[in-house]
Chain A
Amino acid sequence: MKKHLASHNQSYTHTLRNFIVLVLIGMGPARMCLAETKKKVPTESDIKVVCIYNLLKYTDFCEEKSNKEDSTDMLIGVVGNDPYGEAWKRIRGKEVGGQKIIIKHFDAYPDAKNTEKTEALAKELRKCQGLFVSESEKENFKNIIATVKNESVLTISESENFLEQGGIVNFVMGDKKVQFEINLDAARDARLKIKSQVLKLAQRVIQTKKK
Chain B
Amino acid sequence: MITIKYFLQKCLIFIGLLFVLNLTGLLSGSEEPQEGGEKTTPQKQEDLLDMSFEDLLNIEVTTVSKKEQKLSEVPAAISVITQEDIRRSGATNIPEALRLVPGVQVARINANSWAISIRGFNGEFANKLLVMIDGRSIYTPLHAGVYWDEHDVMLEDVERIEVIRGPGGTLWGANAVNGIINIITKKAKDTQGALMTGGGGTEEQGFGAVRFGGKINDKAYFRIYSKYFNRDDAPFLDGGDGADTWDAIQGGFRLDWDPSENDTLSLQGNIASGQVGYAGYMLYPVSPYMFSVTEKQDIKVGNTLGRWQHSFSDGSDMTLQLYYDRTDRWVAVFDEIRDTFDIDFQHSFSCIDRHEIIWGLGHRLTKDHTKGTLAMSMDPPNYDLYNYSGFVQDQITLWENYLKLTLGSKFEYNDFSGFEYQPSGRIIWTPNPDHSLWTSVTRAVRTPVRFDHDDESTRMIIPGYPPSYTPIAVASLGNDDVKSEKLLSYELGYRVRPRNNFFLDFALFFNDYDDLRTFESGTPMSKTTPFAHMLMPLIIDNKMDGESYGAELSASWEIMKNWTLNAGYSFLQMQLHQDNDSTDTSSATSNEGRPPHNQAYLRSNLDLPGNLELDLALNYVDTLPDADIPSYFRFDARLGWHLTDNVELSLVGQNLLDNRHPEFYYRGYQLTTEVQRGFYAKLTCKF
Chain A residues proximal to chain B, CB less than 8 Å:
1, 4-6, 8-9, 12-13, 15-17, 19-20, 24, 27, 30-31, 33-34, 37-47, 50-51, 53-54, 58, 83, 85-86, 89-91, 94, 139, 173, 176-180, 197-198, 201
Contacts and interface: CB of A to CB of B under 8 A. Distances in A.
Given A12-B2, A39-B47, A178 B59 contact: yes
Nearest to B499: A34
Interface stretch (B30-38, B127-135, B190-198, B464-472): B30-38
Contacts of B432: 85-86
A44 B597 contact: no
Nearest to A53: B49
A186 B63 CA distance: 32
Q: Top 5 nearest A-B pairs by Cβ distance?
A: A54-B53, A44-B61, A85-B433, A176-B60, A34-B499
Interface stretch (B443-451, B555-563, B650-658, B669-677): B555-563
Interface of B: 1-2, 10, 13-14, 17, 21, 26-27, 29-31, 33, 38, 40, 44-45, 47-49, 51, 53-54, 56-63, 65-66, 69, 311, 315, 432-434, 498-502, 557-561, 569, 571, 589, 597-598, 625
Contacts of A12: 2, 571, 597-598
A178 B57 contact: yes
Contacts of A13: 2
Contact of B61 (A4, A8, A43): A43
Given A9-B1, A34-B501, A86-B31, A44 B66 contact: yes
A16 B10 contact: yes
A38 B44 CA distance: 9
Given A38-B500, A41-B500, A44-B66, A179 B57 contact: yes
B33 A90 contact: no
Given A5-B625, A54-B53, A42 B33 contact: no
A139 B432 CA distance: 27
Contact of B2 (A9, A31, A54, A173): A9
Given A46-B48, A177-B57, 4 more contacts: A9-B1, A43-B61, A50-B51, A58-B53
A45 B31 CA distance: 15
A15 B598 contact: yes
Nearest to A58: B53
Q: Is the interface of B mostly helix, strand, loop or mixed?
A: mixed
29 contacts: A12-B2, A15-B598, A24-B17, A34-B501, A37-B501, A39-B44, A39-B47, A41-B62, A43-B65, A50-B49, A50-B51, A51-B57, A54-B56, A58-B53, A83-B69, A89-B31, A89-B40, A89-B45, A90-B45, A90-B49, A139-B315, A176-B61, A176-B63, A178-B57, A178-B59, A178-B61, A180-B57, A201-B53, A201-B57
B390 to A, nearest CB: 27
Contacts, number: 123
B17 A20 contact: yes
B363 to A, nearest CB: 31
A21 to B, nearest CB: 10
Nearest to A5: B625
A85 B59 CA distance: 20
A41 B560 CA distance: 8
B206 to A, nearest CB: 34
A142 to B, nearest CB: 10
Given A16-B10, A50-B49, A41 B561 contact: yes
A190 to B, nearest CB: 21
B56 A44 contact: no
A176 B58 CA distance: 9
Contact of B560 (A37, A45, A58, A94): A37
Contacts of B559: 33, 37
A16 B571 contact: yes
Contacts of A4: 625
> Which of A13, A31, A37, A198: most chain B CB closer than 10 A?
A37
Contacts of B14: 20
Nearest to B33: A86
A42 B40 CA distance: 14
